[in-house]
Amino acid sequence: MTQSEPLSGAADGGTATRGTGRARTSHPSPAPPRSSVRQLAAASVGNAAEWYDWYAYSFLAVYFADQIFPKGSGDSLVPLLSTFAVFAVGFFMRPVGGLLMGAVADRRGRRAALTVTILLMGAGSLLLALTPTYAAAGILAPVVLVVARLVQGLSVGGEFAASTTFLVESAGPGRRGLFSSFQYVSTTIGQLLASGTAALLAHLLTEGQMGDWGWRVPFLVGALISLAGFWIRQGAHETHEVPGKASERPAALEALRRHPRQSLLICGITAGGTLAYYTWTTYLPTYAQMNAGISKGDALAVGTISLAFFAALQPLGGLLSDRVGRKPLLIGFAVGFAALAVPLLHAISSSFASLLLVQCAGMVLLTGYTSIAAAVNAEVFPARVRAAGIGFPYSLTVALFGGTAPYLGTWFKDAGHPGAFPWYVAGLCLVSACVYVILPETAKRPLDGAG
């Protein structure tokens, strides 16, 4: 099997060496997957389950906040603020999950890590469903909530590391971009399922019923979906040949220690993309309500429509990147946002049509990043440390720039400078554009460690 040299240039197992013209491997690569559909299903269903559980928390927080956290000094916002503080804590567990589960994927195999992450997410969801109220258990109630969210954050951070490598390594020649696109297809489906389930229950139940017990139902459903994902993943084909001797397996921090340049590249690749993603898919409805006066109902409806549109775009972006390369799409995304983020966000008015047009236009640009992010990240690192190499810097960057986007947007508004946030988005995308320009084109290179 002929392999091209990864960006690292290191002579790890499964990594090509310079000047030889031939690849040198320590261990044979695994046989090609028997079923591409099964591989895609194993990664996508599990990923959708992960993100269903992750987003269900934010959609349901308004219903369970005052049951878990007591109101302080008569301020009715204290429970909700406390609940969203726990949401943020989950974000900052993601780098830990990326490092730990990435190491599991590199040392024990991708399928082993995917099994652990789906079980962790299911356990976290079940724990949320069974969280006692403050009235019944006192301080134990918020403690259980925090533990459940920490487990979910650990799981989500590990999920990206493991499923990214698994998806891209499962792809046949010339199809890595297409397979990569299903990362965000499944993520978006999970988000839509979470919002749809919450909306359906809110429609069927009274406000009192939702506050008493209805909010627990989606978390129970999430635990069941996680079990289904676990079953599907059991039949998946392992894509990474693990060394037989424990001493030959990579150390947990080997990717950071031996490949610091690649780790920084992941941060630069991700920074603008994650900020644009969380701004356009999560924060934009709130931004439109605060700055343009659009109604909450219209903002949520536009968000749902645009997310469905976004999911449909992903495979098209992946296929295009397999034909023309990764760099044109990445540069198009970053330059597009650098030039258009400010005018697009300023174009939002109180009308349904204006928000829909702005959100869908942003989704088209954003697809240049999201549809191929998994492939680009996987192509940076050699197979030996690919999962851990991606997991930690990616999750850390998401926590720093993606997870803080709603907070910073609101902070700029409160500080009297709402127009500063669009410039912040444009500026960070311009930084990523510089990274994309110097990034080697990897679309046509054989993937290190692929069969």
Residue-wise pLDDT tens digits, 79-88: 665 666 776 7
Residue 371: pLDDT band by 50, 70, 90 thresholds?
very high
* DSSP β-bridge partners for residue 175: none
Residue 127: pLDDT band by 50, 70, 90 thresholds?
very high
Residue 342: pLDDT band by 50, 70, 90 thresholds?
very high
Q: What is the pLDDT of residue 25?
A: 41
Least confidently predicted of 14-18, 127-131, 328-332 = 14-18
As annotated, the residues of the chain forming the CATH 1.20.1250.20 domain(s) are 33-236, 253-444
Q: What is the pLDDT of residue 33?
A: 43
Please say if the pLDDT value at position 367 is more than 60: yes
The per-residue pLDDT for range 226-277, each reduced to its tens digit, is: 998 888 888 888 888 877 777 677 777 788 888 889 999 999 999 999 999 9
Mean pLDDT of 164-180: 89
Least confidently predicted of 22-26, 47-51, 191-195, 436-440 = 22-26
33-236 falls under which CATH superfamily?
A: MFS general substrate transporter like domains (1.20.1250.20)
Please say if the pLDDT value at position 8 is more than 80: no
Q: Which two tokens stand for residue 39?
A: 């591989």
Least confidently predicted of 81-90, 183-192, 346-355 = 81-90
Q: What is the pLDDT of residue 412?
A: 85
Distance from C-alpha of 30 to C-alpha of 241, rounded to nearest angstrom: 6
Contact yes or no for 200/62 (Cβ under 8 A): no
Q: What is the pLDDT of residue 181?
A: 94
CATH architecture for segment(s) 253-444: Up-down Bundle (1.20)
Model pTM above 0.85: no
Please say if the pLDDT value at position 353 is more than 50: yes
* DSSP β-bridge partners for residue 16: 23
Residue 117: pLDDT band by 50, 70, 90 thresholds?
very high
* DSSP β-bridge partners for residue 401: none
Please say if the pLDDT value at position 402 is more than 80: yes
Helix, strand or coil, per DSSP, at residue 75: strand
Q: Which two tokens stand for residue 158?
A: 């590990």
Residue 29: pLDDT band by 50, 70, 90 thresholds?
very low
Residues in the chain: 451
Q: What is the pLDDT of residue 49?
A: 85
The single-letter DSSP state of residue 250 is P
Q: What is the pLDDT of residue 21?
A: 41
Please say if the pLDDT value at position 366 is more than 90: yes
Q: What is the pLDDT of residue 24?
A: 41
Nearest Cα neighbor of 68 from 136, 116, 11 is 136
Looking at every residue in the chain, the average pLDDT score rounds to: 84
Comparing 200 with 14, the larger pLDDT belongs to: 200
Residue 315: pLDDT band by 50, 70, 90 thresholds?
very high
Distance from C-alpha of 338 to C-alpha of 347, rounded to nearest angstrom: 15
Distance from C-alpha of 157 to C-alpha of 380, rounded to nearest angstrom: 19
Least confidently predicted of 62-71, 341-350, 378-387, 432-441 = 62-71
Distance of CA 324 to the CA centre of its chain: 25
* DSSP β-bridge partners for residue 23: 16
The single-letter DSSP state of residue 282 is I
Distance from C-alpha of 405 to C-alpha of 383, rounded to nearest angstrom: 32
Residue 423: pLDDT band by 50, 70, 90 thresholds?
very high
* Cβ neighbours of residue 413 closer than 8 Å, sequence gap 6 or more: 290, 291, 421
Mean pLDDT of 34-51: 80
Residue 32: pLDDT band by 50, 70, 90 thresholds?
very low
Q: How far is CA 251 from CA 18, 31, 88, 205, in A?
A: 24, 25, 29, 51
Please say if the pLDDT value at position 179 is more than 80: yes
Please say if the pLDDT value at position 374 is more than 50: yes
Q: What is the pLDDT of residue 22?
A: 41
The percent of residues in the chain predicted with pLDDT above 90, rounded, is: 37
Q: What is the pLDDT of residue 407?
A: 79
Helix, strand or coil, per DSSP, at residue 251: coil
